[in-house]
């Protein structure tokens, strides 16, 4: 009889342990599904696409330069920009823009900007740091 009680006691303990593990697995699966759904529905997976391309860097460069120009009428020569990478996250962009002054005269300004990509969405200015900006007419 004692042997039978020990067997039943062991069986009950194992059943409780197995039930705890099963609930733990269910909890892990639910948490994983929530994270997966969050990334799928918000599009946050775009953060993990790697380094930004030259077009994204040029777009951000224009956002850094525009506030430094006194004119509100600025036109960038989007087809003529030159792009290089100094390292994995440092970008050098050379191009020009034309701006209209108060007298209605247009002037062309060449610029070289060095940007450091800090991670995150490549098209957002807050994910970049301007290291240097040179402008000359």
Q: Going residue by residue through the chain (137 aa), what tens digit of pLDDT does each one get?
A: 555 566 566 777 777 888 888 999 999 999 998 888 877 776 555 545 678 888 999 999 999 999 988 888 899 988 889 999 888 789 999 999 999 887 888 889 999 999 999 888 888 999 999 999 999 87
Buried b or exposed e, range 60-69, using 16+ CB within 10 angstroms: bbbebbeeee
Answer yes or no: do 25 and 77 share one domain: no
By residue range, what is the domain housing residue 14? 2-42
Answer yes or no: do 58 and 111 share one domain: yes
Answer yes or no: do 59 and 123 share one domain: yes
Phi, psi of 45 (to 5 degrees): -65, -15
Question: CA distances (Å), 98 to each of 14, 82, 94, in order?
Answer: 78, 17, 14
Query: Any idea what the CATH number is for the domain that residue 56 is in?
Result: 3.10.450
Q: Structurally, how many domains does the chain consist of?
A: 2
The predicted model scores a pTM of 0.63
Answer yes or no: do 122 and 56 share one domain: yes
Of the candidates 90, 93, 97, 107, which has an alpha carbon nearest to the alpha carbon of residue 61?
93
């Amino acid at each position: 009889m004692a042997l039978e009680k020990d067997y039943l006691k062991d069986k009950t303990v194992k059943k409780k342990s197995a039930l705890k593990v099963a609930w733990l697995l269910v909890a892990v699966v639910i948490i994983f599904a929530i994270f997966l759904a969050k990334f799928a529905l918000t599009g946050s997976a775009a953060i993990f696409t790697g380094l930004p391309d030259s077009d994204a860097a040029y777009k951000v460069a224009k956002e850094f330069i525009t506030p430094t120009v006194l004119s509100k009428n600025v036109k960038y020569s989007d087809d003529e920009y030159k792009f290089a990478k100094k390292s994995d996250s440092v970008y050098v962009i050379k191009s020009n823009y034309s701006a209209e002054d108060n007298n209605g005269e247009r002037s062309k300004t060449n610029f070289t900007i060095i940007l450091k990509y800090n991670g995150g969405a490549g098209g957002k200015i807050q994910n970049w740091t301007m290291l240097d900006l040179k402008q000359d007419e």
